Amino acid sequence: MADIEQYHNILKELKKYHAQLIAVSKTEPVESILQLYQAGQRAFGENKVQEMCEKRLSLPEDIEWHMVGHLQTNKVKYIAPFVSLIHSVDSVKLLEEINKQALKNNRTISCLLQVHIAAEESKFGFSEEEVYGLLQQKQFKLFTNVRIAGLMGMASNTDNSDQVEHEFEGLRQLFLHLKQNYFTDNSDFKELSMGMSSDYPLALKHGATLIRIGTILFGKRNYH
């Protein structure tokens, strides 16, 4: 079940910041997605390729599908025909494959570079140094069918809001620096995807343009 009242409250808040809501529907049944769709939501986020592909088949065609979870190279081909934005690009190899599959499908796929900003160890996301390294590669310019639309990050899972704000602000500073130095003539580089159920007000305060929310829209997830 989707909480429609909560949905409208969140939308009202996001509007003040000109930010967009990505409803993260992983593990949720299509009925819940449809409830939010009927309330007006079009952008939904999933973190598993198979789940996204299956749900898509039984839902309206004008839903925008966002991949927010770690994406394996060998699965890009399944979402390449329709995916709206890939938030979780965390390697050059993945970017290369997205470009290849985008070409095959005769489209350009929008991507965010995922940056590791949390204190916790994680296998996923570029470091700041790696992002600069990537943007300086010649190969990077050959990716004709990917559109780098901005950055994504996940803050530490902590009650320490100073730390979370510090991490979000760090990502914003990186975003602004890249925009000024690497994407000067490129208005496509405009999205900052950060903030989830527990920390999205802090993300908004630090310039988030896309907020990825699951739990407070759909209730606590049941993992089977």
Ligand X SMILES: *Cc1c(COP(=O)(O)O)cnc(C)c1O
Site string for ligand X, 31-50 (x = CB under 6 A): ----------------x---
Tell whether residue 24 is a contact of ligand X (CB under 6 A).
yes
Nearer residue to ligand X within complex by CB, 141 or 220: 220
Residue 197 makes contact with ligand X by CB under 6 A: yes
196 binds ligand X (CB under 6 A): yes
Q: How far is the CB of 137 from ligand X (least distance, A)?
A: 26
Chain centre to alpha carbon of residue 66: 6
Given the complex with ligand X, which of 61 and 159 has the nearer CB atom? 159
Q: Which of 69, 81, 170, 219 binds ligand X (CB under 6 A)?
A: 69
Residue 210 burial class via C-beta count within 10 angstroms: exposed 0-12, middle 13-18, buried 19 and up: buried
- Contact string 198-217 vs ligand X (x = CB under 6 A): x-------------xxxx--
Q: Nearest distance from residue 116's CB to ligand X, in Å?
A: 12
Nearer to ligand X, 44 or 175 (CB): 44
Residue 170 as a binder of ligand X (CB under 6 A): the answer is no
DSSP symbols for the chain? ---HHHHHHHHHHHHHHT-EEEEE-TT--HHHHHHHHHTT--EEEES-HHHHHHHHHTS-TTPEEEE-S---GGGHHHHTTT-SEEEEE--HHHHHHHHHHHHHTTS-EEEEEEEE-SSS--S-SB-HHHHHHHHH-HHHHT-TTEEEEEEEEE--SSS-HHHHHHHHHHHHHHHHHHHHHT-TT-TT--EEE---TTTHHHHHHTT-SEEEE-HHHH-S----
Only segment of 59-67, 132-140, 182-190, 193-201 that touches ligand X (CB under 6 A) = 193-201
φ/ψ of residue 116, rounded to 5: -85, 110
d(CA 184, CA 31): 43
52 lies in the site for ligand X, by CB under 6 A: no
Q: Name which of 27 and 105 has its Cβ closer to ligand X.
A: 27
Question: Should residue 26 be labelled a site residue for ligand X when binding is judged by CB under 6 A?
Answer: yes
Taking the complex as a whole, the smallest distance from the CB of residue 38 to ligand X amounts, in Å, to: 21
- Binding to ligand X by residue 219, rule CB under 6 A? no
Residues that bind ligand X (CB under 6 A): 24, 26, 47, 68-69, 196-198, 212-215
